[in-house]
Each structure stands twice: as structure tokens, then as C-alpha cells.
Amino acid sequence: MGQSRETTAEITEKPKRPFPVVPTTKILALGRFTSPPTAEQIMTIFPLEVPDTLRLYLAGKIDQWWARQDQKGPVFLMNVTSVEEARTILEKLPLGQAKLMEFEYVELSPLTPLHLLLTEGWANANR
């Protein structure tokens, strides 16, 4: 026997989002060493990593950068709109090529509840 229409609709219907879909405007990349770098790796790879990272900053791909207090790796706020582009860029860096650095990527967007300020009645609700 087949499923009822109501059951089929419930299965295929996606839950309604409380806020509108907005575009990804930046990517937050949280770096982590895959293993602690050795003294030799620091002496050979870091002199290449630092200028390459600076070039990404000067090219506008990295907007801001920080070091994690736990010293596990860097954090980059990137001016790209997809995880794929961020991954491609960061995997080309020397630490990425040496498989010594991996990243967790977070897509960022404008604060979605702000759309409420533009809806009819919302701006005048407290007047």
C-alpha cells in the first residue's frame, strides 16, 4: 500500500526557516597543526609560509588574521564566498602542501535577523 499524501508531504517538505537565506560573504578558517612542527620544519617551511600568507593578505584574500591562544594554529577571516575557494587557497600554502596544517571552515553571512528591521510594522512597533 502507498503512503497517504499527508505523510509523503511531511517527508519531502523541508522545515521552514525562521530567517531568510542570505549569501555567504566571508569564510572563517580555523587552522590546526596536524602534528607539532619540528625545529627543522620551522626552519625550512615557515620562511616560505609567512611571505606566502602575507601575499594573500596583500591580494585581499585574507582580511584579518590571528594566532590562537592555544597555539594550535592561525585563524583567518577570508574575503572569499565559498569553502571550496578558501580550501583551495590555503592548501597551496607550504604548511598545507606539507600536510602539517588543516582548517575548519565556517561560512559567514550578514546577521539574518536584521531583515526584521525592514519589515512592515516592525520599525514602528515601539513608537
List all residues 6 or more positions away from 119 whose beta carbon is below 8 Å from its beta carbon.
Answer: none
pLDDT per residue of the chain (127 residues) written in tens, 0 to 9: 555 555 555 556 666 777 778 899 999 999 999 999 999 999 999 999 999 999 999 999 999 999 999 999 999 999 999 999 999 999 999 999 999 999 999 999 988 777 777 776 665 666 5
Rounded Cα distance between 103 and 96, Å, is 9
CATH topology for 26-109 is Alpha-Beta Plaits (3.30.70)
pLDDT at 21: 83
Q: How remote is the C-alpha of 6 from its chain's centroid?
A: 38
pLDDT at 22: 85
Count the Cβ atoms, other than its own, within 10 Å of residue 92.
Answer: 11
List all residues 6 or more positions away from 107 whose beta carbon is below 8 Å from its beta carbon.
Answer: 24, 27, 82, 83
pLDDT at 92: 98
Kindly report the backbone phi and psi dihedral angles of residue 54, in degrees, each rounded to the nearest multiple of 5, phi listed first. -60, -40
| Total-model pTM | 0.77
Query: Domain residue spans in the chain?
Result: 26-109
pLDDT at 106: 98
Please report where in the chains the cell 611571505 appears, as a residue. Answer: 51
- Asked if 90 and 103 count as a contact pair (C-beta separation under 8 A), the reply is yes
Rounded Cα distance between 43 and 13, Å, is 56
